[in-house]
């Protein structure tokens, strides 16, 4: 069903692109007679034309696109991916760059990106229609200047069931709650009952275990458990202890919904049953933290289930750090489109950037469900009449867990994860306290981190690859 809808929408875009091509062909303006070739960096040619190229080429037939595919930049253990991407750009010399946040920040600082201010002023390009937090965040990553734009973003919100809150006489959720307040709100729902009578206050993610819940809370507060420069573990700090004590209390309260791994293995196979198995749609949880895909399922439920599924609901922002309540790790921008500072095709490159980030492109593609939202907020669908601002009223925040991620040996994460599961399972079973478990992880993790850092250093030396000097240290608490 969803495949059929996407095919229909894709065909609609194709037909619209054809119509646009016809219109642009009749203009006969001088601009359309000036041919230019534009090298655009993207994952691959096919996905580029599906997402952007068909519509842009219809409006700007005078610009011939050459897609520079990044598929050749392959991840390898110990490989500096940021350097590999920069080397790729230096070799291929694309006019339009599609880069991640780290590359964007680095290249902007090195003067390798084109400042967009002159184009924006010349064309009176509308920045007001773009979610303000996104523009602010991009500028923040590049010293206050704007070197790139993004046509879409990804975001989560707290969905809540108004009928359940009213039934149990509990105050409705609010924007910018702290994690502590959210978990306290969830704990007010009854935890007795069995089977169909059992309800839960909150579904906090796909996995409601102590490690992942604690990491979600800690990330929102800007905490990290590794210093990538010194290779120092920091997981037993007072802040992490406070976070995990909060998470442990919430899980042991019985108010958090945990996914049944066998639920999808039941004999029932009707689509209606599939929809009702979602705990929010089926009325088993009062709140859930999800992206926009849940709205699509709710739309399906309205059609297929009539009055059986969720009826009365709304959304508020995800929980925030009270010290920084305007930012959220639940909102992200993905890849940034920028212009190479040394391009000889700046005007054509700006045509592309301004089009895919402009009003017309947002309007035409607003019905295509690609997992994200248009940054031009007036084209975000609100057919439910809910508080959609919850998805874009906050500013994206860099996830602290990913800072310096590329400097950490990847084997460390693979080996550290089972250690965390082992220690936190002991906490869940009442065999260890949170502080003791974190102290154990600090010691075991530091030993593992030092070993893996040394092993990677030796491997790079054997391969003749220059190693980044690091200083593995003994275990112990470190400042956050």
187: CATH:
3.40.190.10
Do 223 and 195 lie in one domain? The reply is: no
The two tokens of residue 185 are: 């709100």
Kindly report the pTM of this predicted structure: 0.87
Catalogue the E-assigned strands of 244-292.
285-290
Q: What pLDDT is recorded for position 265? A: 52
- Residue at 402 is within a domain: no
Are 82 and 51 in contact by the 8 Å Cβ rule? The answer is no
pLDDT tens digits, 357-396? 999 999 999 877 677 899 999 999 898 999 999 999 999 9
Do 73 and 126 lie in one domain? The reply is: yes
CA atoms in the 13 A half-sphere facing the CB of 362: 23
Do 419 and 364 lie in one domain? The reply is: no
Do 244 and 376 lie in one domain? The reply is: no
Phi and psi dihedrals of 328, rounded to 5?
A: -155, 140
- Give the angle subtended at the CA of 195 by the CAs of 190 and 197, to the nearest 5°: 40
pLDDT over 90 for what percent of the chain?
68
Q: Are strands 200-203 and 285-290 parallel, antiparallel or unpaired?
A: parallel
The two tokens of residue 184 are: 């306290």
Query: In the beta sheet, which residues pair with residue 288?
Result: 159, 203
**Averaged pLDDT for residues 32-59:** 90
- Residue at 388 is within a domain: yes
- Compute the distance between CA of residue 145 and CA of residue 137 in angstroms, rounded to an integer: 11
Q: What pLDDT is recorded for position 362? A: 95
pLDDT at 235 over 90: yes
Are 232 and 478 in contact by the 8 Å Cβ rule? The answer is yes
- Compute the distance between CA of residue 379 and CA of residue 364 in angstroms, rounded to an integer: 9
Counting beta carbons within 10 angstroms of the beta carbon of residue 319, is it exposed (0 to 12), middle (13 to 18) or buried (19 or more)? buried
Q: Domain boundary residue among 344, 372, 396?
A: 396
Do 198 and 224 lie in one domain? The reply is: no
273 versus 387: the higher-pLDDT residue is 387
SS3 content of the chain, % helix, strand, coil (to 5): 50, 15, 40
Do 323 and 174 lie in one domain? The reply is: yes
- Compute the distance between CA of residue 108 and CA of residue 299 in angstroms, rounded to an integer: 42
Do 167 and 123 lie in one domain? The reply is: no
- Residue at 353 is within a domain: yes
pLDDT over 70 for what percent of the chain?
86
- Residue at 86 is within a domain: yes
Could you say which DSSP state residue 160 is in?
Answer: E
pLDDT at 35 over 80: yes
pLDDT at 89 over 60: yes
Q: Domain boundary residue among 349, 366, 396?
A: 396
The two tokens of residue 341 are: 């500072």
- Residue at 261 is within a domain: no
pLDDT at 15 over 60: no
Q: What pLDDT is recorded for position 408? A: 87
- Residue at 383 is within a domain: yes
Do 57 and 136 lie in one domain? The reply is: yes
- Compute the distance between CA of residue 214 and CA of residue 304 in angstroms, rounded to an integer: 37
pLDDT at 24 over 50: no
Do 80 and 217 lie in one domain? The reply is: no
Mean per-residue pLDDT of the chain: 87
Number of domains in the chain: 3
Phi and psi dihedrals of 257, rounded to 5?
A: -80, 135
Nearest-CA neighbor of 444 among 417, 426, 469?
417
Range of the domain at 455: 209-255+408-480
Are 65 and 94 in contact by the 8 Å Cβ rule? The answer is no
Q: Domain boundary residue among 313, 328, 343?
A: 328
pLDDT tens digits, 304-313? 988 888 999 9
Least confident of 161-170, 199-208, 271-280, 335-344: 199-208
Least confident of 127-136, 348-357, 393-402, 441-450: 393-402
- State the alpha helices, DSSP H only, in 390-433: 410-428
pLDDT tens digits, 317-327? 999 999 999 99
């Amino acid at each position: 069903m969803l495949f059929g809808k996407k095919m229909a929408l894709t065909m609609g875009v194709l037909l619209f692109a054809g119509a646009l091509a016809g219109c642009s062909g009749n203009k006969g303006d001088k601009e359309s007679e000036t041919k230019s070739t534009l090298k655009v960096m993207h994952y691959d040619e096919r996905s580029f034309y599906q997402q952007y190229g068909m519509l842009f080429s219809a409006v700007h037939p005078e610009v011939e696109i050459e897609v520079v595919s990044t598929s050749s930049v392959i991840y390898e253990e110990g490989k500096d991916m940021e350097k590999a991407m920069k080397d790729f750009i230096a070799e291929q010399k694309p006019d339009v760059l599609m880069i991640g946040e780290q590359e964007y920040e680095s290249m902007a600082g090195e003067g390798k990106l084109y400042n967009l201010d002159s184009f924006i002023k010349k064309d009176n390009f509308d920045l007001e229609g773009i979610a303000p937090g996104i523009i602010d965040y991009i500028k923040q990553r590049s010293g206050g200047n704007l070197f790139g734009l993004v046509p879409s973003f990804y975001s989560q919100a707290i969905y809540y069931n108004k009928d359940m809150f009213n039934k149990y006489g509990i105050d409705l959720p609010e924007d910018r709650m702290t994690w502590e307040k959210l978990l306290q709100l969830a704990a007010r729902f009854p935890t007795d009952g069995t089977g169909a009578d059992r309800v839960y206050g909150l579904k906090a993610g796909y996995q409601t275990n102590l490690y992942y819940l604690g990491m979600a809370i800690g990330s929102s507060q800007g905490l990290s458990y590794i210093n990538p420069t010194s290779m120092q573990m920091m997981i037993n700090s007072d802040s992490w202890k406070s976070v995990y004590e909060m998470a442990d209390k919430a899980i042991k309260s019985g108010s958090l919904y945990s996914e049944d791994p066998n639920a999808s293995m039941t004999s029932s196979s009707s689509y209606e049953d599939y929809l009702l198995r979602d705990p929010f749609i089926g009325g088993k949880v009062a709140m859930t933290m999800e992206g926009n895909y849940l709205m699509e399922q709710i739309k399906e439920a309205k059609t297929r289930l009539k009055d059986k599924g969720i009826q009365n609901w709304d959304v508020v922002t995800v929980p925030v750090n009270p010290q920084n309540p305007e930012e959220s790790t639940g909102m992200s921008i993905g890849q940034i489109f920028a212009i190479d500072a040394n391009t000889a095709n700046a005007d054509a490159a700006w045509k592309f950037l301004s089009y895919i980030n402009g009003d017309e492109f947002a309007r035409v593609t607003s019905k295509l469900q690609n997992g994200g939202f248009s940054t031009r907020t007036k084209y975000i669908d609100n057919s439910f009449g809910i508080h959609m601002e919850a998805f874009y009223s906050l500013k994206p925040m860099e996830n602290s867990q990913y800072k310096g991620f590329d400097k950490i040996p990847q084997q460390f994460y693979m080996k550290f994860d089972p250690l965390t599961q082992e220690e936190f399972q002991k906490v869940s079973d009442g065999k260890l306290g949170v502080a003791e478990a974190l102290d154990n992880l600090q010691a075991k993790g530091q030993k593992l981190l030092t070993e893996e850092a040394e092993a990677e250093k030796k491997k790079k030396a054997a391969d003749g690859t220059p190693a980044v000097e690091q200083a593995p240290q003994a275990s112990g608490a470190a400042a956050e």
